[in-house]
Amino acid sequence: MKKTGIAYFDCFSGISGDMVLGALVDAGAELEAIERELRKLSLPGWSIAAEKVRRQSIMATQVKVHVEGDHAHEAAAPASRRHPSSDARSRMDKSHRHSHARPHERRGLTEIVKMIDAAGLSPRATGRAKKIFQRLGEAEAKVHGVPIEKVHFHEVGAVDSIVDIVGAAIGFDLLGIDEFACSAMDLGGGHVHTEHGVLPVPAPATVELLRGAPTHSSGIQRELVTPTGAAIATTLAARFGAIPAMRLRGVGYGAGSTQLEEKPNVLRLLLGERFETQIGEWDAPITVIETNVDDMSPQIYGYFAEKALAAGALDVFSTPAQMKKNRPGLLITILSEPAHVSPLVDLIFRETTSIGVRAHEARRKTLDRELVPVETRFGTVRMKVSRMNGSLLTATPEYDDCQTIAAERGVPLKEVIAAASFEFQKQAQEKELATESQRHRAGEQ
C-alpha cells in the first residue's frame, strides 16, 4: 500500500518563498535535483546555492537565488551593515527587495503558466506551481481592482521568485508529499516598501491570500508572512491548526535572510506519513459545554452559534427542551478543545441569557478529513473527504462553495452539488484504475 506523505508548515516565525525552499533542502530534497528540473524553464540568467546558517540556537538552510546583473542580494548582509530603514524589509520576498535595485521584466499570469507548462515538469509539480500563481494573480487582481488578465507580476514574477515557487513545487514532489497542513501564522507588523509604495503589514495581497487561515501577530515589526509564502501555504494546505496525526520521518529548517532578536528566524517543515487508525484508539479528550435557556430569542442563538465557531468551538448545536413551568427552551451544546473552554464560557454569558453552564470531558473518535478541490463546469468546489485506514468513506461538496457558485452563475444549487460529486467520483475512479494498472504491470515484472 502506498504511504501518504504529509508536510506541515510550522510558521511560528512566518513564512516566505525562500524559507520554504530552504526548509525543503534542509529536509532532504537535493538542491541539484531541484535545479536540474528548474533548468527546464525558459528562464535564463540565474544561479542557485544553499548554505547552512545559524538563526539563534537553530541551524538552518538558507537558499539564495542570484540573478545576473542584480546585486540586490547584498540586502542579506548582517543588520549592522545595512541602512536602518532596511530592517522593516528584511523578511520580504526577494522580489520586493529587488524593487529598489533594478526593474524586472514584467510577466503576466498567462506567460508564466505557459512557461511552466512548456517545461515538462512532473504533472504534480506543474499543477501545484500553476495553482500557486493562479492564487497570487487572483489576490493581486482583487487588491488592484483589475481583471486577472491585466495583472502583471512585476514583483512575484521576478526570476528568483519564480524559482522559489516552482522550486518548492518540485521539492515537494521529490519528497513524495501528498497532503499539506499549516499552523497559525505570525504576521509581524510595521510597514514594507514595494513598487506600490509604503504598505502596511501584512501587505494587501497577503491579506487576501490568508482569508480563512488562522493568523496572529507577535508584535515584531517585520513582514513575517510574504505574499509568496502565503500563496504557497494557503494553496497547498488542506487544513490549518495543530500538527496532524502522522509518523514523523523528517524535519527541515528554512532560514530567513536576517537574524530576529525575538526568536529564530526560520520556517520549520515537518514531514511524515499517515498511519492507520486502529480500532480502540481515541482522539485527544474534548470538553462538552452545556447550558439551558428558555427566555432567549431564536435570532440570538443563530448569531451566538456563528460567534462560537469563530472563537474556536469544534461544533455548536441546540436541542429542543421542555423546561420547568412547562416552558419550551433550548439545550445549547458546544464541543471544544480544552484551550478554548474559558473564552467560550465567557461568550455564552455575554451573548445569551444563560446564568450558568456545566462542562464535562468526553472522548471521541474522528475520521481523517481533508478538503480536496475539484474542477466542475461551474467552477472549483472543495470536497470534504473522510478516510479510515487510508480508505475513502465519504466525500461531500462544501456547501458554502456550492452556494456561492450557484448565486454567481444563476444555476440551481442542486446542479452544482451534483456536478461536484460527479467530478470527484470520476477522479477517484480514474485514480483507482491507474493504481490497478500499476499493480498489474508490477505483477508482470
Q: What is the pLDDT of residue 97?
A: 38
Find the helix or strand (DSSP H, E) in which 141 lies.
helix 123-144
The 10s digit of each residue's pLDDT in 225-284 is 999 999 999 999 988 888 888 889 999 999 998 889 889 999 999 999 976 555 456 677
Residues 240 and 382 in one domain: no
- Residue 355 inside a domain? The answer is yes
The 10s digit of each residue's pLDDT in 277-334 is 554 566 778 899 999 999 998 889 999 999 999 888 999 999 999 988 888 999 999 9
Number of domains in the chain: 3
Residues 252 and 106 in one domain: yes
Residues 358 and 373 in one domain: no
Residues 377 and 311 in one domain: no
Q: Which of 133-137, 198-202, 218-222 has the lowest mean pLDDT?
A: 198-202
- Residue 278 inside a domain? The answer is no
The domain of 306 spans: 286-362
Cell digits of residue 305? 452559534
Distance between alpha carbon 141 and the CA centroid of its chain, in Å?
A: 20
Res. 2 pLDDT band, cuts 50 70 90: low
Residues 163 and 301 in one domain: no
Contacts for 74 with CB less than 8 Å, ≥ 6 apart? none
What CATH number does residue 356 fall under?
3.30.70.1380
What CATH number does residue 426 fall under?
3.10.20
Residues 143 and 61 in one domain: yes
Residues 386 and 250 in one domain: no
Residues 232 and 153 in one domain: yes
Res. 78 pLDDT band, cuts 50 70 90: very low
Contacts for 302 with CB less than 8 Å, ≥ 6 apart? none
- Residue 281 inside a domain? The answer is no
Distances (CA, A) of 144 to 74, 132, 138, 196, 385: 30, 18, 10, 10, 35
For the chain, helix (H) and strand (E) counts, in that order, are: 12, 18
